[in-house]
Amino acid sequence: MQTLSVDLGDRAYPIHIGPGLLDRAELVLPHLARNRVFIVTNTTVGPLYLNRFSECLVRAGVQVEAVVLPDGEAYKNWQTLNDIFDALLTHRAERKTTLIALGGGVIGDLAGFAAACYLRGVPFVQVPTTLLAQVDSSVGGKTGINHPLGKNMIGAFYQPRLVLADTATLDTLPDRELSAGLAEVIKYGLIRDLPFLEWLEANMDRLLARDAEALTHAIHRSCLNKAEVVAADEREAGQRALLNLGHTFGHAIEAGMGYGAWLHGEGVAAGTVLAAQLSRRLGLLSAGDVARVIALFRCARLPVRAPALGHDAYMAHMGIDKKVEDGRIRFVLLRRLGEAFVSADYDAAALRATLTEDVGAAD
Ligand code: NAD
Ligand code: GLY
């Protein structure tokens, strides 16, 4: 097992990464306020891991209750959030009952937001079971739900007390979901870690083959990058926004195509290619750099061509984004591979060309 820490002063918490951690109750116990937990999971992850994880906690003397939600991005909404509150109230969950998210990013975001709101805040633990959740969404305390008009627009910053990433759960993850997680892994290389980007270029085959050592390295390095950024800028006053490379375009793809049609990581991949193309059109990246970005996403079996939603539809969706300031869309751009920055100062013609010429079926 490898452990790193998100350094947030008295709210610092560990991230444990390794195989078989669902059977290690002793890693969870120190982070509970009382010996009572409420597990939030879904109809896919529940049948795979809920019994095993619950039984391990029960053997350690913990009282365990659970709610099993429907599976999918389309359920990351008010109604499902309310289903969690219904279950918590029905079971009389108390202030010292710890909410545990067992699942991917959708479950983590929903359960985290529920933990932030229920009784004005109850302890929260993340047990991520997708690659995307293990490298990104379980770390850093962003929680929330989608609105039909905009992705992740309702939510709260609410840090977990522990992230327990059992890498063996990835054995059951479908290939398409593994690739979706790789989009966020590649992101860290592109925005701030060129040596990692180069490692990914050399090791993508091992990651796709689920080589345990390669996956553990990628998860650890990703969490290290994320933990550093979050510790420096928890509430996204500055550099944390860089973690949104490709997300402004990607969220527009997700919302524009209907939540669930494109996986989040797929939207991020195609969106990052658009961010790279815009950076090239602004004279920052070379055509060779963009080709390198495209090749890496292709190698990870991710889509590299965003759908042709139309310039106006893209602009409408991107106009509802958490980074919008004074009504102006702000993009994460690449100054070079391994270095990103946020800018509201881009040429509208370059953006229009990106949204009309760099989308749709490749010629
Ligand atoms: P997801 O939660 O929908 O999980 C993907 C699919 O895999 C689901 O069908 C799920 O049931 C299934 N699954 C999960 N674990 C499994 C396992 N071990 N074996 C088999 N199937 C398994 O999607 P995701 O990619 O994990 O997360 C995407 C979500 O995360 C999006 O809503 C996105 O907005 C959010 N996100 C949040 C943050 C953040 O900082 N909070 C960061 C990135 C993404
Ligand atoms: N996934 C973006 C962030 O956590 O800030």
Whether 159 and 195 share a structural domain: no
Spatial contact of 220 and 4, defined as CB atoms under 8 Å apart = yes
The answer to whether residue 362 is domain-embedded is no
Whether 204 and 280 share a structural domain: yes
The answer to whether residue 180 is domain-embedded is yes
Q: Is the CB of 104 under 6 A from ligand 1?
A: yes
> What's the number of domains the chain is made of?
2
Ligand 1 center to 102 CA (angstroms): 10
pLDDT (0 to 100) of residue 363: 55
pLDDT (0 to 100) of residue 324: 87
How far is the CA of 45 from the CAs of 87, 141, 310, 332, in angstroms?
Answer: 18, 22, 36, 33
Ligand 2 center to 89 CA (angstroms): 30
Ligand 1 center to 176 CA (angstroms): 12
Summarised one tens digit per residue, pLDDT across range 215-245 is 999 999 999 999 999 999 999 999 999 999 9
Whether 125 and 194 share a structural domain: no
Whether 133 and 212 share a structural domain: no
Q: Which of 192, 251, 280, 330 is catalytic?
A: 251
Q: Which of 177, 184, 234, 266 is catalytic?
A: 184
Ligand number nearest CA of 229 is 2
Final residue belonging to a domain, choices 142, 172, 202: 172
Range of the domain at 277: 175-357
* Mean pLDDT, contiguous 10-residue spans, the chain (363 residues): 97 98 98 97 98 98 98 96 98 98 98 98 98 98 93 95 98 98 98 98 98 97 98 96 96 92 97 98 97 98 96 92 86 97 91 96 69
pLDDT (0 to 100) of residue 325: 85
pLDDT (0 to 100) of residue 151: 87
Return the CATH number at 352: 1.20.1090.10
Whether 206 and 313 share a structural domain: yes
Q: Which of 42, 73, 76, 142 is catalytic?
A: 142
Final residue belonging to a domain, choices 144, 172, 200: 172
Whether 194 and 161 share a structural domain: no
The answer to whether residue 318 is domain-embedded is yes
pLDDT (0 to 100) of residue 209: 97
The answer to whether residue 58 is domain-embedded is yes
Structure-token pair, residue 11: 């709210």
Q: What is the DSSP string of 191-203?
A: HH-HHHHHHHHHH
**Predicted model pTM:** 0.96
Q: Is the CB of 129 under 6 A from ligand 1?
A: yes
Confirm whether 65 is a catalytic residue: no
pLDDT (0 to 100) of residue 326: 84
CA dist 250 and 272 (Å) reads: 8
Final residue belonging to a domain, choices 149, 172, 195: 172
CA dist 278 and 245 (Å) reads: 12
